[in-house]
């Protein structure tokens, strides 16, 4: 229906002229534009037919004027209708739109296994419809969705309380938030979102997220790691734990490549385990690749020692009566850590260089992955096979070594 204001416009244009009003008034009130045009056309035909009977005739200019005025009237009415006030249905839909939510405050210490409270404007009004459940709100930290954390609505308040946890569903988000730490804390923005909707705008200041989450036992493990590293350094400088068995004085004995590699992987895996425990507060699983690398290094050291023992026994069998002669292998002296790792009695060798390089490269990748993702890496089987081949080659070349 076209409202009465439109009819008023027609009256303003045409006044109270009874000749014009039949063209428009009834059809305007009914909202029938085609009907209005048909009525105007029919009236023109009747006037033409009755001109010879003495009725008042109209000039062609006047007839054309009727069409012009009707067109102008239609245009004015269309303009008014396009800017008309919203209908009752539109007003009702606008009234039913949900209130605007904004985060205006965050309280509590933000970190794993710690509760925080998020204050949201218009929260209780937003939850008034029966289909709105406060437990469907999701926590967002720096725009990252933290799934698996169910909030509680504080009675009588516009506050959601979250017991922050790291679950399988939110593991990737927490790895991004806690990984590659530069300090013990970092600033993050806090927001919430309902179900699958985008997070709402936050007006609250950034909150400090604690990177180190662990309890007493995590710190105890970190202290044990540092103690073990210091203890190992002490015995490495005072015993032959990482040196070859030799008849030379302790400080003159050469370093063992196999033993150093075994110690290298042991402390990398132990340090990674401790780091992840400190940051996440949970004991991390040891990856299959970590077990494989420890096994390869242990097998390399064991294989090298077996070869050395066999060579010593062979020398004794070849010199049964020469009690004063010294085994050349056991008289080899150290020339420094780098030289001992890359060279033997015959000089520098590529198989030793290859083993050292691959050990360092994989070690750096291992440490970087743990630092960024808070998990021990899983190396490709081909890469682990390459590491095993390098170690096996090293053991094989020890047979002809002096």
- Check if the beta carbon of residue 276 is closer than 8 Å to that of residue 181: no
Same domain flag for 150 and 286: no
- 74-82: average pLDDT: 58
pLDDT of residue 231: 94
CA distances from 100 to 126, 141, 190, 253, 296 (A): 8, 20, 17, 76, 60
> What span, in angstroms and rounded, lies between the C-alpha atoms of 244 and 256?
5
* pLDDT more than 90, % of the chain: 40
How do beta strands 102-108 and 201-202 pair? parallel
pLDDT of residue 216: 76
From 51, 68, 93, the end of a domain falls on 93
Q: Please, is 129 exposed, middle or buried when counting C-beta atoms within 10 Å of its C-beta (0-12, 13-18, 19+)? A: exposed
pLDDT of residue 309: 82
Same domain flag for 105 and 67: no
Same domain flag for 165 and 295: no
Q: State which residues form the domain around 263.
A: 216-398
More confident residue, 190 or 22: 190
The confidence band for 162, taking pLDDT boundaries of 50, 70 and 90, is very high
- Check if the beta carbon of residue 287 is closer than 8 Å to that of residue 377: yes
From 93, 111, 132, the end of a domain falls on 93
Structure tokens at 240: 């032959």
Same domain flag for 113 and 81: no
Same domain flag for 179 and 290: no
pLDDT digits (tens, 9 = 90+) for 127-137: 887 678 999 99
User: What pTM, to 2 d.p., does this model score?
Assistant: 0.68
Same domain flag for 42 and 104: no
Least confident of 167-171, 286-290, 359-363, 368-372: 167-171
pLDDT digits (tens, 9 = 90+) for 103-160: 999 998 898 888 999 999 999 999 887 678 999 999 999 999 999 999 999 998 999 9
Structure tokens at 342: 């890359």
Same domain flag for 256 and 343: yes
More confident residue, 84 or 224: 224
Report the domain count for the chain: 3
pLDDT digits (tens, 9 = 90+) for 163-215: 999 888 998 899 889 988 888 889 999 999 999 999 999 998 899 998 887 66
Please name the residue that has the structure tokens 């009003």: 21
> What span, in angstroms and rounded, lies between the C-alpha atoms of 209 and 109?
8
Rg (CA), the chain: 44
Same domain flag for 172 and 58: no
Same domain flag for 375 and 277: yes
Same domain flag for 355 and 368: yes
CA distances from 163 to 1, 146, 211 (A): 57, 11, 17
- 291-295: average pLDDT: 95
> What span, in angstroms and rounded, lies between the C-alpha atoms of 151 and 141?
15
Q: What is the CATH number of the domain that holds 171?
A: 2.60.40
Same domain flag for 190 and 281: no
From 210, 227, 256, the end of a domain falls on 210
Same domain flag for 234 and 316: yes
Cα-flanking dihedrals φ and ψ of residue 396, to 5°?
Answer: -60, -40
């Amino acid at each position: 229906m076209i409202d009465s204001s439109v009819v008023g416009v027609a009256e303003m244009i045409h006044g109270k002229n009874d000749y014009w009003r039949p063209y428009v008034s009834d059809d305007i009130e009914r909202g029938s534009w085609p009907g209005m045009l048909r009525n105007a056309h029919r009236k023109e035909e009747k006037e033409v037919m009755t001109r010879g009977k003495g009725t008042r005739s109209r000039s062609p200019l006047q007839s054309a004027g009727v069409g012009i005025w009707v067109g102008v009237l239609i245009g004015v009415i269309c303009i008014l209708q396009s800017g008309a006030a919203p209908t009752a249905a539109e007003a009702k839909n606008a009234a039913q739109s949900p209130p605007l939510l904004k985060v205006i405050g965050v309280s509590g210490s933000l970190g794993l296994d710690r509760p925080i409270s998020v204050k949201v404007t218009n929260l209780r009004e937003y939850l008034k419809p029966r289909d709105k459940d406060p437990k469907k709100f999701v926590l967002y930290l720096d725009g990252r969705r933290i799934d698996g954390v169910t909030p509680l609505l504080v009675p009588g308040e516009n506050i959601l309380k979250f017991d922050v946890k790291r679950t399988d569903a939110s593991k990737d988000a927490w790895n991004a938030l806690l990984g590659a730490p530069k300090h013990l804390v970092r600033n993050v923005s806090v927001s919430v979102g309902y179900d699958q909707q985008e997070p709402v705008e936050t007006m609250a200041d950034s909150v400090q997220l604690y990177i180190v989450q662990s309890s007493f036992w995590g710190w105890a493990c970190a202290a044990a790691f540092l103690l073990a590293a210091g203890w190992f350094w002490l015995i490495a400088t005072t015993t032959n734990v990482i040196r070859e068995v030799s008849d030379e004085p302790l400080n003159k004995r050469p370093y063992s490549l196999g033993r150093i590699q075994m110690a290298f992987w042991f402390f990398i895996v132990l340090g990674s385990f401790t780091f992840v425990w400190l940051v996440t507060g949970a004991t991390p699983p040891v990856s299959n690749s970590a077990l494989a690398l420890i096994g390869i290094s242990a097998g390399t050291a064991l294989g090298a020692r077996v070869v050395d023992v066999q060579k010593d026994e062979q020398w004794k069998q070849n010199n049964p009566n020469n009690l004063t002669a010294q085994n050349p292998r056991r008289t080899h002296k150290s020339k420094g850590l780098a030289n001992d790792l890359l060279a033997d009695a015959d000089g520098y060798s590529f198989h030793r260089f290859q083993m050292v390089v691959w050990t360092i490269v994989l070690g750096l990748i291992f440490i970087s992955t743990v630092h960024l993702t808070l998990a021990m890496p899983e190396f490709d089987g081909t890469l682990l096979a390459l590491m095993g081949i390098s170690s096996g080659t090293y053991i094989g070349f020890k047979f002809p070594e002096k």
